Chain A
Amino acid sequence: MQKIYSSAEDALEGLLFDGMTIAAGGFGLCGIPERLIDAIQASGVKDLTIASNNAGIDNEGLGKLLRTKQVSKMISSYVGENKEFERQFLAGELEVEFTPQGTLAERLRAGGAGIPGFYTKTGVGTQVAEGKEVKSFDGEDYILERGIRADVSVVKGWKADESGNLVFRKTARNFNQPAATSGKVCVAEVEEIVPVGSLDPDSIHLPSIYVKRMILGAPYDKKIEFRTVRQREAA
C-alpha cells in the first residue's frame, strides 16, 4: 500500500465534504500542517467544524480558512492573536466551543482510543460545566466530557518512514499526536521521508497504523509568533 502522495491536494482527494469535522495538530504556529491547510482552503470545502487548540493568526495557519469563511465552528482553548476570528465571533458568524486545553487534548486522545466520554475535574463549577453531567467520585465532583472522532485529521511531523511511522521534533509534537489518532483518516505532512528501517522502532512517536496518507511538505519556512532571545555576555 502506497501512503506517499505527490501533493497535499492529492492526499486529501475524496476525503473532504461540506459540514465535516477536521482535527488539526499544532500549537500556535508551531507544528501546524500548513500544506494541508492550504489545500483545504483551495478545495473550497465549507461549513467545517475544526478541533484545534488555536485558530492560527490573521493570515497564517487556520486563520486562512477563517478568512475565506470556510469554518462554521471551532473547538479550541485559546484564540487570541486573531482579529478576523474575533470579528466573526462577535458578529455571530462563527460558533466557538471553548474547551480547556487539557480537556481538548484528552477529547482527541479518547476519541481516537475508542472512549466516547470521560470524567474530569477541569471546569467544574465554571461555564464549561454547563449542561454536562456531574458525577462525584470519592467525594469530588467531575464533569463528563465527550471524545472527539474527526472525519479527517491533519498533522505535521518531522520525519516519516515510507510505511508511515512518524517522529515529531521538540515542542512541535503538541496536539499532532492526539489529533492524528482522533481522525477516521489521518493525513500527515512531514519534513523528510526516509526508507523503512532508518528509524529506531523504539523511538517512533506515532505508529504507522494511524497515518493513512502523507506528503513531503518541505521546504518549510517556519513562523515564530514571539521571537525572544538573550544576549551573549561579552568575552
Chain B
Amino acid sequence: MATAVETKGWTRDQMAARAAKELRDGYYVNLGIGIPTLVANNIPEGMTVTLQSENGMLGIGPFPYEDQVDPDLINAGKQTISELPSSSYFDSAASFAMIRGGHIDLTVLGAMEVSEKGDIANWMIPGKMIKGMGGAMDLVAGVKKIIVVMEHNAKSGDPKFIPQCTLPLTGKNVVDMIITDLAVFHRPDHDSPFKLIELAPGVTAEEVRGKTTANYVE
C-alpha cells in the first residue's frame, strides 16, 4: 500500500532520536552539523548530558530568544546559541586538548562515505567541494565513541556504507556505529566487522542488503 511505503524508514528527526539512545547520564558529547545537531532535542528527560562546542564552550544551551542574541556566543556551526548556568568557555587549543585527549565520551557526525573497516570520509570531494575538515579529523581521532548518522544511500542511489571509501578520508578505522534512515550497524571494537543490529520500521534485512555494498554481519 502507498501509505506503508511512505512511512518506511526513519526521518532525520527519528535518526537523531535513535542516536540519542546511545547517550548516558554524565556524558560529555560533541555533535556535528546537520542531523547530528538534532540529537540535542532528544536528550532523555532526567539525564545530564553536557554538549561541547569545539570553538570553545562546554554546556551549550538552546537557541537564544530574539532579544538575547549575542554575536560573541555561537556554536561550531556559527549559529547563535545561549549559555547554561553550568557553562564554561575556553580557547581553541584547550578545546581540542579535551577532544584529542580522550575526555569527550561521544561524538555524532555526518558522513559522505563509511567503509566496512570503519573509515570515514566527510570533508572533501576533489575538484568540487573544498570547505575543509574543520574539527572532524580531531574528533574521530580523539573521542571515545564515534557514531555516524547519514542517509543510507546518496541522492543518486549509490550506497554510502561501502567496502572502501573513494573520497579522501577524515579518519581510518574509527567509526563505532552507523545509523541510517534504514538501519543501525554496530561493532564492539575496531577489529570486529560491523553487525546489523536494528532495522527501521517497515525495512527488511533483505532490502538493506540490496542497498549496501559493504560487508557486514547479520
Given A100-B133, A230-B65, are A171 and B73 also a contact pair (CB < 8 Å)?
Answer: yes
Contact with B along A118-154 (1 / 0, CB 8 A): 0011111111100000000000000000000000000
Given A30-B71, A98-B133, A108-B93, are A226 and B79 also a contact pair (CB < 8 Å)?
Answer: yes
For chains A and B in complex, what number of residue pairs have CB atoms within 8 angstroms? Answer: 178
Could you tell me if B80 and A127 are in contact, using CB atoms closer than 8 angstroms? no
Given A27-B92, A77-B132, A230-B63, are A124 and B172 also a contact pair (CB < 8 Å)?
Answer: yes
Q: How far, in whole Å, are A105 and B94 apart by their CA atoms in the complex? A: 9
Cβ of A208 < 8 Å from any Cβ of B?
no
Could you tell me if B74 and A78 are in contact, using CB atoms closer than 8 angstroms? no
What DSSP secondary structure best describes chain B's contact surface?
loop
Could you tell me if B132 and A227 are in contact, using CB atoms closer than 8 angstroms? no
Q: Which of B37-88 touch A at CB < 8 Å?
A: 53-57, 62-66, 69-75, 77-81, 83
Q: How far, in whole Å, are A28 and B95 apart by their CA atoms in the complex? A: 16
Cβ of A224 < 8 Å from any Cβ of B?
yes
Contact with B along A193-212 (1 / 0, CB 8 A): 00000000000010000000
Option from A96, A100, A173 in Cβ contact (under 8 Å) with B56: A173
Number of interface residues of A (CB under 8 A): 58
Given A171-B53, A175-B91, are A222 and B100 also a contact pair (CB < 8 Å)?
Answer: no
A105 → chain B closest CB, angstroms: 4
A185 → chain B closest CB, angstroms: 20
For residue B111, which residues in chain A have a CB less than 8 angstroms away from its CB?
none
A-B pairs with lowest CB-CB distance, top 7:
A102-B96, A125-B172, A102-B138, A222-B71, A177-B91, A80-B131, A105-B92
- A169, closest chain B residue (CB): B72
Q: How far, in whole Å, are A102 and B55 apart by their CA atoms in the complex? A: 10
Could you tell me if A173 and B172 are in contact, using CB atoms closer than 8 angstroms? no
Cβ of B210 < 8 Å from any Cβ of A?
no
Interface residues of A (CB under 8 A from B): 27-31, 53, 76-80, 86, 89-90, 96, 98, 100-106, 108-109, 120-128, 158, 168-178, 205, 222-232
Greatest chain A CB density within 10 A among B56, B73, B77, B79 is at: B56
Could you tell me if B65 and A232 are in contact, using CB atoms closer than 8 angstroms? yes
Give the size category of B's interface with A: 35 or more
For residue B196, which residues in chain A have a CB less than 8 angstroms away from its CB?
none
Given A125-B171, A171-B55, A171-B74, are A98 and B132 also a contact pair (CB < 8 Å)?
Answer: yes
Q: How far, in whole Å, are A106 and B147 apart by their CA atoms in the complex? A: 25
Could you tell me if A222 and B137 are in contact, using CB atoms closer than 8 angstroms? no
B134 → chain A closest CB, angstroms: 4
Q: How far, in whole Å, are A28 and B132 apart by their CA atoms in the complex? A: 13
For residue B95, which residues in chain A have a CB less than 8 angstroms away from its CB?
102, 105
For residue A121, which residues in chain B have a CB less than 8 angstroms away from its CB?
100, 141-142
For residue A125, which residues in chain B have a CB less than 8 angstroms away from its CB?
119, 169, 171-173
For residue A27, which residues in chain B have a CB less than 8 angstroms away from its CB?
55-56, 74, 78, 92
Could you tell me if B132 and A102 are in contact, using CB atoms closer than 8 angstroms? no
Q: How far, in whole Å, are A90 and B153 apart by their CA atoms in the complex? A: 28
For residue B138, which residues in chain A have a CB less than 8 angstroms away from its CB?
100-103, 122
For residue A78, which residues in chain B have a CB less than 8 angstroms away from its CB?
131-134
For residue B172, which residues in chain A have a CB less than 8 angstroms away from its CB?
124-126
Q: How far, in whole Å, are A84 and B75 apart by their CA atoms in the complex? A: 24
What are 13 inter-chain pairs, A to B, with CB distance below 8 A? A100-B137, A101-B96, A102-B92, A122-B138, A126-B170, A158-B72, A171-B57, A224-B74, A228-B79, A229-B66, A230-B62, A230-B64, A231-B65
Could you tell me if B168 and A127 are in contact, using CB atoms closer than 8 angstroms? yes
Cβ of B201 < 8 Å from any Cβ of A?
no
For residue B80, which residues in chain A have a CB less than 8 angstroms away from its CB?
224, 226-229
Q: How far, in whole Å, are A79 and B71 apart by their CA atoms in the complex? A: 20
Q: How far, in whole Å, are A27 and B206 apart by their CA atoms in the complex? A: 46
For residue A108, which residues in chain B have a CB less than 8 angstroms away from its CB?
93
A107 → chain B closest CB, angstroms: 9
Further contacts, 8 of them, CB under 8 A, given A86-B130, A122-B137: A100-B134, A102-B138, A126-B172, A171-B53, A175-B91, A222-B71, A223-B71, A228-B63
